[in-house]
Amino acid sequence: MANALLMPKATAVWLVDNTALSFEQIADFCRLHPLEVGAIADGDAAQGIKGMDPVMTGQLTRDEIAKGEADPNYRLKLSEPKVRVPETKRKGPRYTPLSKRQDRPNAILWLVRNHPELKDAQISRLVGTTKSTIEQIRNRTHWNSANLVPMDPVTLGLCSQIDLDMEVHRAARYAPPAEAAGDTLLPASETEGLDVGDNAAEQAPEDKELDADAVFAKLSSLKRGDEEEDEGSDKE
């Protein structure tokens, strides 16, 4: 989690009262508008707010304040915390604000169609829903199925792209390997020695030598047959 300033208005009150920093420097450090800082200095804003010393809380150093006072264009930098508090892991379904709960069925439909590898528990973690709702949307038995439109949950603000990618990666890691589609060629070790076809035995080998005497005898018999036909036609 990014380091953030604690109690910015109380810090601004203290900086206005105890330093010579400009309104722009204080506004930039406290994430406030310069006019709001000016109102604090005039006593028109933040009335009743007790100033909080950022040096005592470890969010700013004396040297940093001195740099800012010496150079009006200098922007104060928040000190790094000495102790890092680990983020607590979320347990159970994600909380969804009331204003976005109406978008959850559309997000569930998008996840079911575009990432069928996701389990119900993963979808529930992403958009904060129940398994029964997911099952109804998947089976088209939801009461509003006719009006549902698949929408990206990241675009809807129901989850972050990092969370979605992490769940998809986790689902793909445990998914069974996909079966090879279509026919594949047999290896050469299995095809060696196979007949080329049913008519292989009937086909004459190309290297078979021709019998010249038989060929000429055949041609002579054909020629004699033609001559006899010609003589018979002349007698008629």
For position 1, what pLDDT does the model report? Answer: 41
Paired tokens of 146: 């006719």
User: Of 120, 140, 174, which marks where a domain is finished?
Assistant: 174
Q: Which of 118, 114, 229 is nearest to 168 (CA)?
A: 118
- Kindly give the parts of the chain with pLDDT less than 70: 1-3, 81-101, 175-216, 218-219, 222-236
For position 63, what pLDDT does the model report? Answer: 93
Q: Is residue 231 part of a domain?
A: no
What residue numbers bound the domain in which 121 lies?
98-174
For position 200, what pLDDT does the model report? Answer: 47
- Verify that 60 and 104 share a domain, yes or no: no
| Phi, psi dihedrals of residue 40, rounded to the nearest 5° | -65, -40
User: Of 153, 174, 195, which marks where a domain is finished?
Assistant: 174
Paired tokens of 125: 């973690």
User: Of 122, 139, 174, which marks where a domain is finished?
Assistant: 174
Domain count, the chain: 2
Structure pTM? 0.39
- Verify that 118 and 160 share a domain, yes or no: yes
- Verify that 165 and 109 share a domain, yes or no: yes
- Verify that 54 and 103 share a domain, yes or no: no
Question: pLDDT, tens digit, for every residue of 185-205?
Answer: 566 656 555 555 555 445 554
Q: Is residue 193 part of a domain?
A: no
Residue 210 neighbours by CB distance under 10 Å: 6
Q: Is residue 234 part of a domain?
A: no
